[in-house]
Structure 1
């Protein structure tokens, strides 16, 4: 989902990697048709400051994504 205030795209993080602070969401910017990873976030939407990010999923093409059929279920 696009946060129109920050212009960041939010996704659910179903892998939830991490030790103490589990990543529940990831945020991305959309640049030249590619999503670029910005931050991992906890369940409250707060940025997880100390988070190692491996090479998988740092960027991916917009054409490799699909929209959610029920976006209203993601709004709090």
Structure 2
């Protein structure tokens, strides 16, 4: 992650576009605790730190890979 990425903030529209989902889906994920919390920048301005989203993506991918079980014999048809 670059220094620039740590300072980038995304709107709910940008986050929804990133995952090709609705804005309601983003808010639902956040309410369920399945998604990083946004940052209040004042007033009604809410943004997500790109660095937080990227970290969540890494953790999600690592969790998926860890959940896979590879059995070498099964892969070799034994």
If each structure's helix is expressed as a fraction of its own residues, which one has the higher value?
A: 2
Q: TM-score when scaled to structure 2? A: 0.22
Between structure 1 and structure 2, the one with the greater Rg is: 2
Structure number with the bigger relative contact order (C-alpha 8 A, sep ≥ 6) is 2
Q: TM-score when scaled to structure 1? A: 0.22
